[in-house]
A and B are shown apart, each in its own frame.
Chain A
Amino acid sequence: MNSKVLSLIAGRIGVALVTLLIVSFLVFAATEMLPGDVAQVLLGQAATPEAVAGLREAMHLDQPAIMRFLGWLGGMAHGDLGHSYTNRMAVSELIGTRLGNTMKLAAITAAVAVPVALSLGILTAIWRGSLFDRAVSTLVVGVISIPEFMVATLAVLIFAVWLGWLPALSFGGSTDSIWDILRAYAMPVITLTFVVSAQMIRMTRAAVIETMKAPYVEMALLKGASRSRMVLRHALPNAIGPIVNAMALSLSYLLGGVIIVETIFSYPGVAKLMVDAVATRDLPLIQGCAMIFCLGYLFLITIADVVAILSNPRLRH
């Protein structure tokens, strides 16, 4: 039994690795489509043909694309992501200085969003059909159907412009006291929390309601158990698997949200680095950032899969 679970999990991880390989190929291929000669573009119009040829050789542009792909892949395996076109710094170093910031933002958001979304999701499932449920569900559909930047602009309008509690857009002003740091993080975290929680509440509510359709929950109801006991003692333990699965999946929405939020609030994270790299067409940097994001995304999705396998014995066959 146990070895079977292990082999299933190993299978999932294997699939994730193969997917990562395909993704890296897609990312590489996409950046290969750049029209024109990169060396020519970098050196400008006035470059001599010899200089262009020299740079092409130095950048291995004279080799076939497949060789460059393999070289890039090999470099990536031991942490060498190439050098930025614009400032010649190592991509891994550029990303390294920013990755911590993005992780911090994601961690704070998760710490706020998970408890809030979990309790709201379970409560709406308990009081299904009530005014509370309908109010929360309407709000959730509202947040899901508007763009992230609208959530962010609304947050700025409400908390900075009308109420005047928080600084509007500036990030990285004074960071002398804990209070300043809290104030600086508040707006991005509020925005991301709204975006991520909406997904989480929806999925958690669906997972609990799905479990409540099971015969043993009906049995508890017939036995005379109270509604909260029915949910908390009978349905919830069996819904934990699907809920954790839902949490991991909705955390992957952080990645999309983070790109918008870091741009709006000029937060010095990897996503901002990548958006700036797109503006300057800094391909190695874009490739590096893209791979980091895909890695994080695949990691979360694989966790969701593994949790689903562990929590539901029926998926093991």
Chain B
Amino acid sequence: MAIVFPTPRRLGWRLNPVGLVAACVIAFWAVIAVIGPWITPHPPGEIVDYDFFGPLSAQFPMGTDYLGRDMLSRVFSGARYSVGISLAAVMIACTAGIVLGMSAAVIGGMTDTIISRLLDAISSIPSKLFGLVVVAAIGSSIPVLIAVLAVVYTPGSYRFARALAVNVATMDYVTVARARGEATIYLIRAEILPNILGPVLADMGLRFVFVVLLLSGLSFLGLGVQPPNADWGSLVRENMGGLSFGAPAVIMPSVAIATLTISVNLLIDNLPTRIRDRSE
């Protein structure tokens, strides 16, 4: 009997071309986020051109910024902040949201009501406003940013996971497991989680997009990553002066953000239905 290896194709995990291109763009930025600072053509903090807001050229493929620093190098080293902080925040937010959501669905009763009401209250503060207030109060640093982003996006993740988990929790096999006397932890881990994992991961991708957008928005307002470090939002902010004469330095970091967020959206839209809609 031949051993059949579970290749992605056999599992039905084949991506269509659009999804593949999107996945490649995401992988590109992920790699840049890790190795970015080592492959920059010029030192990102050094003034390398006498001309500020320089045009696109062979030497400076993305032009130069308001001080004459190389934009490509700055975008590459900014990837680390934009991608890293967003990834950390979305991990925390979704882990908290999913665990709380499943617990609320399984335990039910007062616990469910209290968690839901509390998280509803948090989600009724507009996200940028929440960032503004917290950063104004305790100042901006990378751990504070991660915490703010995580708190802002936990309620959404919670609501999504809870809605899915509530449906699963009424299934016969969960009732049977309860009747067997299994503990809540077991129900969550072995009965609920495997059945909501696909959609929950897809939701996590969408939430990553929101986090990237909020982070860049906060940085754009000057409340995100602080100089001398700069993520893509801060890069747009510091080069706003060049906008009125159309300098590439203003638009290039935005393009970097757009390629990342649009790719994530496209990848999720083109995921095989098998992963996306496993619970349906």
Residues of A whose CB lies within 8 Å of any CB of B are 19, 22-23, 26-27, 30-35, 141-142, 144-150, 153-154, 156-157, 160-162, 168-169, 252, 255-256, 259-260, 263-264, 274-275, 277-279, 281, 283, 286-287, 290, 293-294, 297-298, 301
Contact = CB atoms under 8 A, between A and B. Distances in A.
B236 A294 contact: no
A34 B137 contact: yes
A153 B222 CA distance: 17
Contact of B137 (A33, A162, A301): A33
Nearest first, the 3 A-B pairs at minimum CB distance are A150-B254, A22-B121, A145-B261
Contacts of A19: 120-121, 124
B224 to A, nearest CB: 12
A294 to B, nearest CB: 6
B78 interface: no
A149 B254 CA distance: 8
A149 B223 contact: no
Contacts of B118: 22
Interface stretch (B42-50, B61-69, B176-184, B241-249): B241-249
A38 to B, nearest CB: 11
A314 B268 CA distance: 33
Contacts of A35: 138-139
Given A259-B129, A290-B129, 15 more contacts: A19-B120, A30-B133, A30-B138, A35-B138, A145-B213, A146-B213, A147-B216, A149-B254, A161-B246, A169-B244, A256-B217, A260-B217, A286-B136, A286-B137, A294-B124
27 contacts: A22-B121, A23-B125, A26-B121, A27-B133, A30-B133, A31-B133, A33-B137, A34-B138, A145-B262, A146-B261, A147-B217, A147-B220, A147-B257, A149-B233, A149-B236, A150-B236, A150-B254, A161-B244, A161-B245, A252-B126, A259-B129, A259-B132, A260-B221, A275-B132, A277-B136, A278-B223, A283-B137
B42 to A, nearest CB: 24
Given A141-B265, A255-B126, A281 B213 contact: no
B128 interface: yes
Nearest to B263: A145
B56 interface: no
Interface string B257-278: 1100110110001000000000
Contacts of B244: 156, 160-161, 168-169
Given A147-B216, A260-B221, A286 B132 contact: yes
Contacts of A293: 126, 129
Contacts of A287: 133
Main secondary structure of the interface of B (DSSP, over half): helix
Nearest to B127: A256
Contacts of B236: 149-150, 153
Contacts of B128: 255-256, 259-260
Contacts of B126: 252, 255-256, 293-294, 297
A162 to B, nearest CB: 7
Interface of B: 118, 120-122, 124-129, 132-139, 209, 213, 216-217, 220-223, 233, 236, 240, 243-246, 250-251, 254, 257-258, 261-262, 264-265, 269
B125 A150 contact: no
Nearest to B260: A145
Contact of A23 (B121, B136, B269): B121
B254 A147 contact: yes
A282 B126 CA distance: 20
A252 B128 CA distance: 12
Contact of A281 (B129, B136, B250): B136
Nearest to B241: A169
Contacts of B138: 30, 33-35
A263 B237 CA distance: 11
A31 B130 CA distance: 11
A23 B269 CA distance: 35
B124 A146 contact: no
Contact of A145 (B122, B124, B258): B258
Contacts of A27: 125, 133
Contacts of A168: 243-244
Contacts of A148: 217
A47 B250 CA distance: 44
A263 B133 contact: no
A274 B236 CA distance: 21
